[in-house]
Amino acid sequence: MKIGLISDTHGLLRPEALAALQGCEHIVHAGDIGKPEVLDALRALAPLTVVYGNIDLDKDWAQALAHTEVVTLGGIGLLVTHERKDVPDTLPPGVQVVVTGHSHKPSLQTLDGVLFINPGSAGPRRFSLPVGLALAWLTDAGAQGQLITL
């Protein structure tokens, strides 16, 4: 199962991001969405799991969004929250992938058998960090991820 991971769009959904997410069976947005139209465009591609980020807190359209979501896809649990500091020390049963955003710094690492992915920022460029997103493949053998620079 191919999953698209995106974060920190800040109201900008680039055509390159939409192209990179084509063919995904599910998309995860790890917050700092910026505008509800971003979510509408992502939902047009695939089912969507989304959490709010710090810039979304005061927006009426974001009030229904959760701070943290746990979703099971392809038999693998994913925990999604905007900031890494909000990941619990003990993960819920079945969680093998943690998706965060906020830092705008893409990262991919495995800790104690759990894949931690920050897709970076797909929105406006911040500092000298790359613009990007990530893909994850969920199989019976586990989860693998790939960072994509746009």
Residue 83, C-beta contacts closer than 8 angstroms, at least 6 positions apart: 54, 100, 101, 102
Task: Show me where the domains of the chain are located.
Answer: 2-149
pTM of this prediction? Answer: 0.96
Domain 2-149, what fold?
A: Purple Acid Phosphatase; chain A, domain 2 (3.60.21)
pLDDT (tens digit, 9 = 90+) per residue, 39-48?
A: 999 999 999 9
Mean pLDDT for back-to-back runs of 10 residues, the chain (150 residues) = 98 97 98 98 98 96 97 96 97 97 97 96 91 96 96
* Percent of the chain whose pLDDT exceeds 70: 100
pLDDT (tens digit, 9 = 90+) per residue, 23-63?
A: 999 999 999 999 999 999 999 999 999 999 999 999 999 99
Residue 32, C-beta contacts closer than 8 angstroms, at least 6 positions apart: 7, 8, 9, 10, 53, 54, 55, 56, 82, 101, 102, 123
Bridge partners of 50?
29
